[in-house]
């Protein structure tokens, strides 16, 4: 791929069966084109979203007011969107709901898993996770461990199977690592966890909509994920939660809000949970956010006609293959090196480049050129600083990859990242 030309990338885009999906998104335009490679942090805006949210505001809320809970079907949106999302992660109908945030949903399923583990094998005292897991997952796990008298143990990704001892009650992992883009074999890790009597909790924040996931086939126990990355539901979009039917009603999640009640409009003072995944609902949902989330999921409905997740995954691998090859050929002499697995089965839909120095400023200089990725510091954990690039096949083109690397080379050759304005830290990196 290092011999590929820009014209060859344009030809790949012409042959791309997914290329028309890009037209469904409101991508930045102007005199200086933006190459958006940060869909692993915040997905792009579907063109349908503004009108859909406006309909909720002006008609459903503005005119129909409280009638819209019935007339517009607001009350059942968590289940309806859950059924729309379920096939993307290998869940069945009625097994997944769209609700709350990833952190809140993770708390729910970790508590349920800890309670179930305590019932089944009370001597198990360990909640196992990865040392470089996303911090909020570890923070939530620390809270749950205090409640259930568990001990949080962290292992390196390559040592995870060996860390699954007989003391492990729950294994909590993010399917695709937020820093490196490395992807676990969900089926193999779930089998290994079950072999020692542990339950599994999977965070699909960097997987859903980007790589094929089959929760049922993997026999996972619980899963959560967010809606604002590859699913393009908007900033702070509702998250989702799934529990395997064989465990979903074995224990109750701890946030016993009225939306999870078996008869919420009976207004009974005593809490009686719904049967199945609906018990994982808690409080009143944001209908504005739900409307935006539906628009993101609708794009995947259109993708079904051209191969769905299989086609999306194939393009993702081709895009990331190209990016890694071009960076290897043109950027390593400037102190950048790839930390994302080369092997297809072991990576998600992002590529991370480690910087020996100046990584934050390099990303700011790239953004000034119109190439938008993001930066993740590693000093706190002793890991390398990373420049992250997310590839969303729904709207990312092969020519975008070529042009992004071209900009990166010019930025590095000109040492643009040394300029003072690129070394001023902002609140969000």
Q: Which of 25, 228, 240, 334 is catalytic?
A: 228
CB 355 within 8 A of CB 362: yes
CB 348 within 8 A of CB 176: yes
Catalytic residue list contains 228: yes
Q: Using the structure block, give the residue that is written with the tokens 């990865």.
A: 130
DSSP character string of 320-342: HHHHHHHHHHHTGGGTEEE-S-S
Q: Which of 229, 294, 369, 397 is catalytic?
A: 229
Q: Which of 16, 38, 137, 203 is catalytic?
A: 203
Q: Minimal CA–CA distance to 319: which of 400, 375, 386?
A: 400
CA 249/CA 198 separation, integer angstroms:
18
CA 384/CA 415 separation, integer angstroms:
20
Catalytic residue list contains 139: no
Q: Which of 25, 36, 107, 134 is catalytic?
A: 134
Any alpha helices (H) in 304-418, and if so which ranges? 308-330, 359-368, 398-413
Burial class (CB in 10 A: 0-12, 13-18, 19+), 300: buried
CA 257/CA 398 separation, integer angstroms:
47
Q: Which of 124, 369, 388, 397 is catalytic?
A: 388
CA 103/CA 247 separation, integer angstroms:
20
3-state secondary structure 244-267: CCCCCCCCCCCCCCHHHECCHHHC
CA 200/CA 218 separation, integer angstroms:
10
Distances (CA, A) of 194 to 78, 152, 221, 371, 373: 30, 18, 10, 44, 38
Catalytic residue list contains 134: yes
Catalytic residue list contains 229: yes
Catalytic annotation, residues: 134, 203, 228-229, 388
């Amino acid at each position: 791929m290092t011999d590929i030309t820009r014209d060859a990338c344009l030809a790949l885009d012409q042959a791309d069966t997914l290329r028309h999906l890009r037209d469904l998104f409101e991508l930045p335009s102007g005199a200086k084109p933006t190459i958006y490679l940060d869909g692993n942090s915040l997905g792009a805006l579907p063109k349908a979203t503004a009108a859909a949210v406006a309909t909720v505001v002006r008609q459903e809320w503005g005119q129909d007011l409280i009638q819209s809970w019935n007339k517009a079907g607001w009350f059942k949106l968590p289940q309806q969107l859950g059924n729309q999302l379920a096939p993307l992660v290998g869940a069945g109908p009625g097994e997944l709901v769209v609700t709350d945030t990833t952190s809140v949903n993770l708390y729910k399923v970790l508590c349920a898993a800890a309670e179930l583990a305590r019932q089944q094998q009370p001597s198990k005292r360990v909640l196992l996770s990865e040392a470089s897991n996303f911090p909020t997952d570890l923070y939530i796990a620390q809270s749950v461990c205090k409640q259930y008298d568990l001990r949080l143990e962290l292992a390196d990704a390559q040592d995870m199977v060996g860390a699954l001892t007989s003391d492990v009650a729950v294994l909590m992992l993010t399917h695709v690592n937020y820093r490196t883009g490395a992807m676990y074999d969900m089926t193999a890790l779930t089998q290994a966890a079950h072999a020692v009597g542990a339950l599994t909790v999977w965070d699909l924040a960097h997987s859903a909509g980007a790589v094929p996931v089959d929760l049922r086939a993997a026999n996972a126990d619980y899963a959560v994920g967010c809606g604002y990355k590859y699913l393009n539901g908007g900033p702070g979009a509702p998250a989702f939660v799934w529990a395997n039917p064989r465990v979903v009603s074995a224990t109750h999640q701890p946030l016993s809000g009225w939306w999870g009640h078996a008869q919420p409009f009976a207004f009974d003072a005593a809490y009686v949970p719904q049967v199945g995944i609906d018990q994982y609902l808690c409080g009143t949902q944001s209908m504005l956010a739900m409307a935006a989330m539906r628009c993101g999921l609708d794009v995947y409905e259109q993708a079904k006609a051209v191969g769905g997740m299989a086609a999306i995954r194939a393009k993702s691998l081709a895009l990331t293959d190209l990016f890694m090859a071009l960076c290897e050929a043109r950027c390593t002499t400037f102190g950048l090196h790839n930390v994302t697995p080369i092997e297809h089965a072991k990576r998600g839909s992002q590529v991370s480049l480690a910087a020996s120095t100046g990584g934050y400023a390099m990303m700011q200089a790239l953004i000034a050129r119109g190439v938008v990725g993001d930066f993740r510091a590693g000093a706190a954990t002793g890991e390398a600083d990373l420049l992250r690039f997310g590839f969303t096949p729904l709207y990312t083109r092969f020519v975008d990859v070529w042009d992004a690397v071209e900009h990166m080379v010019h930025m590095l050759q000109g040492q643009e990242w040394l300029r003072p304005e690129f070394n001023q830290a902002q609140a969000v990196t």
